[in-house]
Amino acid sequence: MSVFTAPKGIPEYFPPNSAAFLAVREKLVGAARRAGYGYVELPIFEDTTLFARGVGESTDVVTKEMYTFADRGGRSVTLRPEGTAGVMRAVIEHGLDRGQLPVKLYYAGPFFRYERPQAGRYRQLQQVGVEAIGVDDPALDAEVIAIADTGFRDLGLSGYRLEITSLGDASCRPQYRAELQDFLRKLPLDDETRQRAEINPLRVLDDKRPDVRELLADAPLMVDHLSPECREHYEQVKGHLTDLGVKFVENPRMVRGLDYYTKTTFEFVHDGLGAQSGIGGGGRYDGLMAELGGQPLSGVGFGLGVDRTLLACEVEGVTPGDTARCDVFCVPLGDAAKARLVALAGQLRARGVRVDLAYGGKGLKGAMKAADRSGARFALVVGERDLAEGNAQLKELSTGEQRALPLDGAVTGVLRALGGSDT
RNA sequence: GUGGGUGUAGCUCAGCCGGUAGAGCACUGGGUUGUGGUCCCAGGUGUCGCGGGUUCAAGUCCCGUCACUCACCCCA
Per residue in A61-117, pLDDT (tens digit) is 888 899 999 999 999 999 999 999 999 999 999 999 999 999 999 999 999 999 999
Question: How high is the mean pLDDT of chain A?
Answer: 92
Do residues A238 and A144 share a domain? Answer: yes
A61 touches strand B (CB under 7 A): yes
Do residues A292 and A338 share a domain? Answer: no
CATH of the domain at A287: 3.30.930.10
Q: What is the C-alpha separation between A93 and A98, in angstroms, rounded? A: 11
Can you tell me the mean pLDDT for A191-216?
Answer: 81
Domain end position, chosen among A316, A342, A364: A316
Do residues A378 and A284 share a domain? Answer: no
Q: Which of residues 248-267 of A touch strand B (CB under 7 A)?
A: 255-258, 267
**How do residues A338-387 score in pLDDT, each as one tens digit?**
999 999 999 999 999 999 999 887 889 989 999 999 999 999 999 999 99
- Which of A328, A318, A330, A397 lies closest to A360, judged by CA? A330
Q: How confident is the model at residue A423 (pLDDT cuts 50, 70, 90)?
A: very low
Q: Which residues of A belong to the annotated binding site for L-histidine?
A: 82-84, 113, 127, 131, 256, 260-261
Do residues A231 and A373 share a domain? Answer: no
Amino acid at A293: G
Q: What is the C-alpha separation between A81 and A115, in angstroms, rounded? A: 11
What is the pLDDT at residue A304? 97
Is A301 in contact with A285 (CB distance < 8 Å)? yes
Q: What dihedral do alpha carbons A98, A100, A101, A104 form, nearest 10°?
A: -100
Is A70 in contact with A287 (CB distance < 8 Å)? no
Q: Which of residues 321-360 of A touch strand B (CB under 7 A)?
A: 333
Helix (H) or strand (E) holding A85: helix A84-93
Is A237 in contact with A149 (CB distance < 8 Å)? no
Do residues A246 and A365 share a domain? Answer: no
- Tell me whether residue A187 is in a domain: no
Helix (H) or strand (E) holding A98: none
- Tell me whether residue A185 is in a domain: no
The backbone region for A95, taken as left when phi is positive above 0, alpha when psi lies in -120 to 50, beta otherwise, is left
For residue A407, the 8-state DSSP code is S
Strand nucleotide closest to residue A337 (CA to C1'): B34
Q: How far is CA A69 from CA A49, A82, A84, A116, A122, in A?
A: 12, 17, 21, 19, 19
The percent of residues in chain A predicted with pLDDT above 90, rounded, is: 72
In DSSP notation, A101-121 reads S-EEEEEEEEEE-----BTTB
**How do residues A130-169 score in pLDDT, each as one tens digit?**
999 999 999 999 999 999 999 999 999 999 999 999 999 9
Question: What are residue A162's DSSP bridge partners?
Answer: A268
**How do residues A10-59 score in pLDDT, each as one tens digit?**
999 988 889 999 999 999 999 999 999 999 999 999 999 999 999 988 88
The helix/strand/coil state of A37 is coil
- Tell me whether residue A276 is in a domain: yes
What is the pLDDT at residue A321? 87
A239 touches strand B (CB under 7 A): no
Query: CB neighbours of A178 closer than 8 A, spacing ≥ 6?
Result: none
Q: How confident is the model at residue A422 (pLDDT cuts 50, 70, 90)?
A: very low
What is the pLDDT at residue A420? 62
Q: What is the C-alpha separation between A203 and A103, in angstroms, rounded? A: 31
What is the pLDDT at residue A122? 94
**How do residues A386-410 score in pLDDT, each as one tens digit?**
999 999 999 999 999 999 999 999 9
Is A123 in contact with A9 (CB distance < 8 Å)? yes
- Tell me whether residue A389 is in a domain: yes
Rg from Cα positions in chain A: 27
Task: Considering only residues A340 and A216, tell me which one the structure prediction assigns the higher pLDDT.
Answer: A340
What is the pLDDT at residue A149? 97
Minimum-distance residue to B32 (CA–C1'): A365
**How do residues A283-316 score in pLDDT, each as one tens digit?**
999 999 999 999 999 999 999 999 999 999 988 9
Q: How many domains does chain A have?
A: 2
A65 touches strand B (CB under 7 A): yes
A279 touches strand B (CB under 7 A): yes
Domain range enclosing A70: 18-172+226-316
Question: What are residue A294's DSSP bridge partners?
Answer: none
Domain end position, chosen among A316, A337, A370: A316
Do residues A306 and A401 share a domain? Answer: no
Q: How confident is the model at residue A421 (pLDDT cuts 50, 70, 90)?
A: very low
Q: Which of residues 374-393 of A touch strand B (CB under 7 A)?
A: 379, 381, 383-386, 393
Signed CA dihedral, A73, A113, A61, A25: sign only: positive
Q: What is the C-alpha separation between A353 and A339, in angstroms, rounded? A: 19
What is the pLDDT at residue A419? 86
**How do residues A326-344 score in pLDDT, each as one tens digit?**
999 999 998 899 999 999 9
- Tell me whether residue A5 is in a domain: no
Query: CB neighbours of A85 closer than 8 A, spacing ≥ 6?
Result: A46, A50, A51, A53, A54, A55, A288, A292
Strand nucleotide closest to residue A119 (CA to C1'): B70
Q: What is the C-alpha separation between A228 and A231, in angstroms, rounded? A: 5
Do residues A335 and A265 share a domain? Answer: no
In DSSP notation, A314-382 reads HHHT---S---S-SEEEEE-SHHHHHHHHHHHHHHHHTT--EEE--S---HHHHHHHHHHHT-SEEEEE
Q: How confident is the model at residue A1 (pLDDT cuts 50, 70, 90)?
A: low
Do residues A270 and A412 share a domain? Answer: no
In DSSP notation, A42-66 reads --SEEEHHHHHHHH-TTSHHHHH--
Do residues A302 and A409 share a domain? Answer: no
Q: How confident is the model at residue A201 (pLDDT cuts 50, 70, 90)?
A: confident
CATH of the domain at A336: 3.40.50.800
Domain end position, chosen among A316, A340, A355: A316
Q: What is the C-alpha separation between A85 and A81, in angstroms, rounded? A: 9
A206 touches strand B (CB under 7 A): yes
- Tell me whether residue A179 is in a domain: no
